Amino acid sequence: MNRQPIKAVIFDFGDTLLDFTQLRQHHHFYLGAKLSYAYLKELGQPTGPFFWYVIKNLAYLRFKHISSSLVHQDFDSLKALRGQGEKQGIAMTDAQWEQYVWLWYEELGYAAGMEPHLPQTMQRLQDQGLKLGLISNTFLHATSLDRHLEELGVLKFLQMRLYSYQFPFRKPDPRIFKAGAERMAEALPNILYVGDLVKNDITPTLALGMKAALKRGKSNAGQGVPAGAWEVQALSELPELIAAYNASC
C-alpha cells in the first residue's frame, strides 16, 4: 500500500497545545468576574452589586453550556455575553466588548500550562515544510484565543484556526475536519491531527483517512491508543516522528 506523506499538522487546543486539566475552573471564573466587573465600572457602565453580577453570569453561562451540549453545537461567548449585557443597558464598542470577554478568559488562560519550548517545536515543524493549523471545540471567542496564542509566540505558526462555535457542528463531526483540510488545501491522508481525546480527536480522524497522534495526559489516562494512531508524551516528539515517517514514504 502506498503511504501518503504528512504535509500538514492540525492541533487541538485544550490539553494539547495548552494544559487546563489542573486548573480550578470556578476559582478562575471568579477572577474573571472580578476583572470584567472592574472594567465595566471603569467605563461607567451599569453593573449592579458584584454578588449578583457573578451569580447571574455563572447561571447564564452554565445554561448556555448545558444547552450546547444537548444540541452538539457550541455557543459564541462574545455574542452571548454581549447580548446579556445590552439587555441590562451596557453599551460599548466592538473593541471594548472584545476586551470584556478577554478579561473573563485572561486568568484562566494565563494559569494554563504550556510545554517547554513550544514555539521552537512549531518552528521545527514549519522548517520541515509542514502547514500548521488548529481545530478546537470551544465557546471561547477567537479574539481571546488568538490573543493568547500570540502572546505565547505560537499564533504566527497556525495559519488555519477553526473554533467550533463558528460552525453548526463540532468534533467528532467529520465536517469540521473536512473544513480544516479544505482551508489548508491539503488532502485528508496528508494531514496529521494531534489531540488528547480518543473519541473527539483520534477515532474520527482515523475514520476519515487522516493520520492521528494522541497527546498523553490526564484527560486520557488509562485509555488505549487506537490502532493506526501514534502516541506522544510531548509535542516536541513530533518533528522527528514526522521526518522519519516522511522519509519512508
* pLDDT tens figures, 21-70: 776 778 889 999 999 999 999 999 999 999 999 999 999 999 999 999 99
Residue for grid cell 467605563: 43
Residue range 220-244: mean pLDDT, rounded:
94
Here the cell at position 218 is 490526564
Q: For the chain, percent helix, then strand, then coil, each to nearest 5?
A: 55, 15, 35
pLDDT at residue 173, as a whole number: 97
C-alpha torsion angle, residues 214, 139, 102, 217 (rounded to 10): -20
113-114 vs 18-19, strand pairing mode: antiparallel
Q: Which residue has the higher pLDDT, 163 or 217?
A: 163
Tell me the per-residue pLDDT of 70-124, one tens digit each, with 9 for 90 and over: 999 999 999 999 999 999 999 999 999 999 999 999 999 999 999 999 999 999 9
Considering the domain 8-19+115-247, what is its CATH architecture? 3-Layer(aba) Sandwich (3.40)
Do residues 172 and 200 touch, judged by C-beta distance below 8 A? yes
For the chain, domain boundaries:
8-19+115-247, 25-111
User: Which pLDDT band, with edges at 50, 70 and 90, does 189 fall under?
Assistant: very high
pTM of the prediction?
A: 0.94
d(CA 82, CA 78): 6
CA 222/CA 225 separation, integer angstroms: 10
The DSSP secondary-structure symbol of 237 reads G
What is the CB-side half-sphere exposure of residue 185 using CA atoms within 13 A?
Answer: 2
| Joined grid coordinates for residue 77 | 461567548
What gap in Å lies between CA 157 and CA 17, rounded to an integer? 12
Residue 82 to residue 99: CA distance in whole angstroms:
11
User: Measuring CA to CA, how many Å separate 166 from each of 14, 88, 198?
Assistant: 17, 26, 23
Percent of the chain at pLDDT > 90 equals 90
Please provide the average confidence, as pLDDT, over all residues in the chain: 95
